């Protein structure tokens, strides 16, 4: 199957492809994902947002608790401030659909309050984790749905630079916290990007027990990423260099060193 083989080569690099398996249209959508930061301003057809959210709600949610929500933000002044919080990511202002996904236990809290019951299970790290995972599963379905419709996108983790201010801007009740944003729209011509190579599959997929031996994974991947980044961004750096640049300094946290106290402040005690 040449399409499957080509998709594997694009994702892993020539010579690093995993064993070929079955193939179909949905796999083609999944495998060709790329993050796009240059959007046209024209809106997708009517009903698109509702279809994306229907796909999102179709994702699994822990015990059907549905502990997530999403806010569609259009107001230019709010987009502008979130873009600034996110380190001046202009595409947040430009893309036709901008969503902020929330870890949201407040809906469950409200129904319990009305019933005169206290939710003893809520104040734990578990609840924050479950609701963040609920939001992530929903968001990933949104991404797949969007890409199946030719809509490009990029996650905006940098809303976590200041969750307190983003929560204020969106009028969130206690028990709801922004987890990440998502820009969606048609890609600008020339900004569609290229499939980004990932670590060899053996580095990620372990059999029976975890194998911490590197077995040449980075030696193979570092030059591949260096070549990719040179082609895409004119600044060649290896994966190892990028990991160290991103995680090596306190400064690169851009305020996220305060995430814990801010999440607690938004009504998740993280016990």
Residues 222-241 within binding reach of its own copies (CB under 8 A) = 225, 239-240
Query: Beta 176-185 vs 68-72: how paired, if at all?
Result: unpaired
Spatial separation of the C-alpha atoms in residues 141 and 57, rounded to whole Å: 8
6 contacts its own copies (rule: CB under 8 A): no
Spatial separation of the C-alpha atoms in residues 235 and 105, rounded to whole Å: 43
Indicate the angle between helix axes 76-85 and 163-170, nearest 10 degrees. Answer: 170
94 vs 106, which CB is nearer to its own copies?
106
Stretch that binds its own copies, among 82-90, 186-194, 250-258 (CB under 8 A): 250-258
* Residues in contact with its own copies, shown as a per-residue x/- string from 75 to 104 under the rule CB under 8 A: x--x-----------------------x--
190 contacts its own copies (rule: CB under 8 A): no
84 vs 193, which CB is nearer to its own copies?
193
Cβ atoms of 107 and 69 within 8 Å: the answer is yes
244 contacts its own copies (rule: CB under 8 A): yes
Q: Phi/psi of residue 183, each to 5°? A: -90, 135
Q: Which two tokens stand for residue 233?
A: 């961004």
How many residues bind its own copies (CB under 8 A)? The answer is 130
- Binding test (CB under 8 A) with its own copies, winner from 2, 42, 76, 204: 204
Closest approach of Cβ 88 to its own copies, in Å? 17
Pick from 55, 239, 81: nearest CA to 149: 55
Cβ atoms of 185 and 147 within 8 Å: the answer is no
Stretch that binds its own copies, among 80-88, 89-97, 184-192, 243-251 (CB under 8 A): 243-251
Q: Which residues contact 100 (CB under 8 A, 6 or more apart)?
A: 70, 71, 73, 82, 159, 166, 170, 178, 180, 181, 182
Instruction: Tell which positions 148-167 bind its own copies, by CB under 8 A.
Output: 148-149, 154-155, 157, 160
Instruction: Tell which positions 107-136 bind its own copies, by CB under 8 A.
Output: 107-108, 110-112, 115, 117-122, 124-127, 129-130, 132-133, 136
């Amino acid at each position: 199957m040449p399409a499957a083989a080509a998709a594997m080569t694009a994702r892993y690099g020539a010579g690093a492809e995993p064993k070929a398996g079955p193939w179909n249209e949905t796999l083609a959508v999944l495998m060709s994902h790329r993050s796009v930061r240059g959007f046209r301003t024209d809106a997708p057809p009517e009903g698109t947002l509702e279809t994306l959210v229907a796909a999102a709600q179709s994702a699994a949610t822990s015990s059907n608790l549905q502990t997530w929500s999403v806010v569609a933000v259009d107001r230019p002044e709010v987009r502008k401030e979130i873009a600034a919080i996110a380190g001046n990511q202009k595409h947040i202002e430009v893309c036709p659909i901008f969503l902020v996904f929330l870890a949201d236990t407040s809906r469950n809290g409200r129904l319990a309050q009305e019933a005169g019951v206290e939710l003893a299970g809520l104040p734990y790290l578990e609840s924050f984790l479950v609701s963040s995972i609920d939001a992530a599963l929903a968001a990933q379905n949104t991404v797949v749905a969007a890409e199946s419709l030719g809509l490009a996108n990029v996650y905006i983790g940098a809303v976590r630079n200041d969750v307190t201010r983003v929560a204020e801007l969106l009028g969130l009740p206690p028990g709801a916290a922004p987890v990440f944003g998502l820009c969606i729209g048609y890609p600008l011509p020339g900004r569609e990007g290229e499939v980004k190579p990932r670590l060899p599959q053996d580095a990620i997929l372990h059999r029976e027990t975890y194998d911490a031996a590197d077995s040449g994974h980075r030696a193979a991947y570092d030059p591949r990423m260096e070549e990719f980044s040179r082609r895409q961004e004119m600044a060649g750096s290896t994966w190892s260099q990028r990991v160290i640049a991103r995680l090596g300094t306190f400064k690169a946290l851009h305020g996220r060193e305060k995430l814990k106290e801010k999440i607690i402040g938004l009504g998740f005690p993280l016990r």
